[in-house]
Amino acid sequence: MRKWFSKILLCMMLVLTGCTSKEVTYDNKNLVDYYVMGRHFATLNSMTSMSTADLEIISNISDGMTETDAYGNKIGALAKTWTFNNDYTEWTFTLKDAVYMYYNWASDPEVTKYLTWPAHESVAVTQQVLEGWVSEYERSDYYHWMIVLKETGEPVGSLLASIVGLAQSAHIGYCIGKKWWHQGIVAEALRSVMEYLFCTIGFHRIESRHDPNNPNSGRVMRKCGMKYEGTAHASDRNNQGVCDADYYAILRDDWGKPKHFMEGYAAEGDTALVQEIYRRKSENDRLNKSQAAKVEFLTRVRYIEKYLTPGAKILDVGAGAGEYSFYFARKGYSVSALELADANIAAFRAKMTEHDSIDLVQGNALDLSRYDSESFDVVLLFGPLYHLHEEVDKLRCIEEAKRVCKKDGKIFFAFISNDMLILTMQQLHSDYLISGDYNKETFRLDDFPFVFHTPDHCRELLGKAGIQICQEVASDGASELLQDLVNDLDEASYQQYLRYHFYICEKPEFLGMSNHLLFIGEK
């Protein structure tokens, strides 16, 4: 089987030698340039009379590519095949797949850090491994692919699928060279392999696992629609020793529903993605579970109350488990709440009492048609912009908020900060700056499954939507980064910390240090 993709192609190991060749050419001129020699080679034919020095130069090039067998014949070493022109002034070598595998990923200890096999010590070891893979392919239950860049034909990684038990289930493993990390290549390859295994072979379940210390691998699984099933503690072993294993799986019946579940951001995909996020991640106590966590909530409440008047009507869009809705409803304000995720709706309703007169509905922030235009004094968007990837959907969400907000009303926009989150992740994972999911040149986080903004991105987006920005606030400031310290403060010290936080949270120089950004705007 050969499968083509936008960035890559996959080749079954059985036909590797026929589909992954690359050429290296040596001619008279580049030989002279390469060796910085001041003379011209009339030929590169070692059978023609040359000086000893010339022969040595030619041999240094060709001996690595070829070798001589017991009968004096040249056979391939690094080269699979080679050709030359009529006058022997140009030689072209086609390299073996083992060369690419060795240099692109198999010899790199960073690539194999969380794998079960060690980094290869030589091309010969890699060649032996490849030959073993090819021989195994005679089995009907063995599936192995090489990931090959479509534009260059260069192998950059591999995927393996093995049968699990008797239940038509496949277990998948994968790796790719460091040069190609964080480009979506493995996810693209994995999705195509999953489609092949489900739709062509007929497997009913595909599973995989990863060391929790290697979260990037889990990210690939989630991107392809696999669901987290649990962690088996001290159940596995890799090059780091005995380790836990996070297990993920997907069933054939769930494959492709919806197609853009982890890609794009059409409304159907939005819904599926948000539902999955909050099935796994409880929002019920996020804002009140600790002193550090409360800073975000207290800051937002402080600013909302600045703009409230007696009898004000509030619309809480993306209400989560209802922390803001309950707070203001119990202070006597008229509150309507809209939430998308089933898990959050259930948590919200579980906390409601007969005294809570909150109009709670399940719905999408992209469609607020159930509400009349200019019917709310304050509109809260404390969640939707965390999950909208496409700008067209962000603008649609903001436009709906504008429509239902009164002319003299205020709209509160919450964003997750791109830059501070990198530092937070570095604090949690000591190698994050090296191996994390962000562009190493631009320092932009990969928007999955959340969406991240810098203050400038926020301003640009709101400007496009016709929002006049009134205030910009670092909602939680350094509280998440300093959470251990903040959580250990006694009550008097905590109150003083809050006063200091409120003192600095509007300063431009502190805006980027917050994990959550608050922008207050009007039409």
Q: Is the pLDDT of residue 291 over 70?
A: yes
On the question of pLDDT at 135 being above 60, the answer is yes
Q: pTM for the complete prediction? A: 0.53
Q: φ and ψ at 484, to 5 degrees?
A: -65, -45
Q: Looking at the predicted structure, is the pLDDT value of residue 305 above 90?
A: yes
pLDDT of 209 strictly over 90: yes
In this prediction, residue 429 carries a pLDDT of 76
Q: What is the pLDDT at residue 416?
A: 94
Comparing 124-138, 329-343, 379-393, the range with the smallest average pLDDT is 124-138
State yes or no: pLDDT of 472 exceeds 70. Answer: yes
Give the relative orientation of helices 215-223 and 185-196 as an angle to the nearest 10 degrees: 50
115 secondary structure, DSSP code: S
pLDDT tens, residue by residue, 183-197:
878 988 898 899 888
User: What span, in angstroms and rounded, lies between the C-alpha atoms of 228 and 218?
Assistant: 9
2 pLDDT above the threshold of 70: no
- Asked whether residue 47 carries a pLDDT value surpassing 90, the answer given is no
State pLDDT tens for residues 87-110. Answer: 655 555 555 677 788 889 999 999
The tens digit of pLDDT for each residue in 56-91 reads 555 555 555 555 556 556 554 555 565 666 665 555
Q: What dihedral do alpha carbons 99, 100, 102, 107 form, nearest 10°?
A: 150
Domain extents in the chain:
19-97, 99-280, 291-522
24: left (phi over 0), alpha (psi -120 to 50) or beta: beta
Q: Which residue has the higher pLDDT, 120 or 18?
A: 120
pLDDT, tens digit, 9 for 90 and up, residues 140-164? 778 888 898 877 778 899 999 988 8
CA angle 256, 184, 95 (to 5 degrees): 115
Would you place residue 182 in the very low, low, confident or very high pLDDT band (cuts 50, 70, 90)? confident
Q: What is the pLDDT of residue 332?
A: 95
Confidence of residue 215 (pLDDT cuts 50, 70, 90): confident
Q: Does domain 291-522 have CATH number 3.90.226.10?
A: no
Residues 307-332 pLDDT 10s? 999 999 999 999 999 999 999 999 99
pLDDT digits (tens, 9 = 90+) for 411-429: 999 999 999 888 888 877 7
pLDDT at 464 over 60: yes
Worst-scoring range by mean pLDDT, 227-236, 265-274, 407-416? 265-274
Give the residue, 111 or 261, on which the prediction is more confident: 111
Q: What is the pLDDT of residue 138?
A: 75
Backbone phi, psi, residue 13, to 5°: -60, -25
- At residue 261 the predicted structure's pLDDT band, cuts being 50, 70 and 90, is very low
- Lowest average pLDDT, out of 262-266, 287-291, 310-314, 323-327, goes to 262-266
Cβ contacts of 60 within 8 Å, gap of 6 or more: none
> For the residues 374-401, what does the mean pLDDT come to?
93
Give dist(CA 435, CA 219) in Å, integer: 13
In the chain, the percentage of residues whose pLDDT exceeds 90 is: 47
Average pLDDT over residues 326-351: 94
Let me know if the fold of 99-280 is the same as that of 291-522.
no
Give the pLDDT mean for 249-272: 56
Determine whether 72 is exposed, middle or buried from the number of CB atoms within 10 Å of its CB (0-12, 13-18, 19+).
Answer: exposed
User: Is 358 a residue whose pLDDT tops 90?
Assistant: yes
More confident residue, 280 or 35: 280
Q: Quote the longest CA-to-CA distance of the chain.
A: 103
Q: Is the pLDDT of residue 265 over 80?
A: no
The CATH code belonging to domain 99-280 is 3.40.630.30
Mean pLDDT (the chain, rounded) = 81
The string of pLDDT tens digits covering residues 434-444 is 877 788 888 88
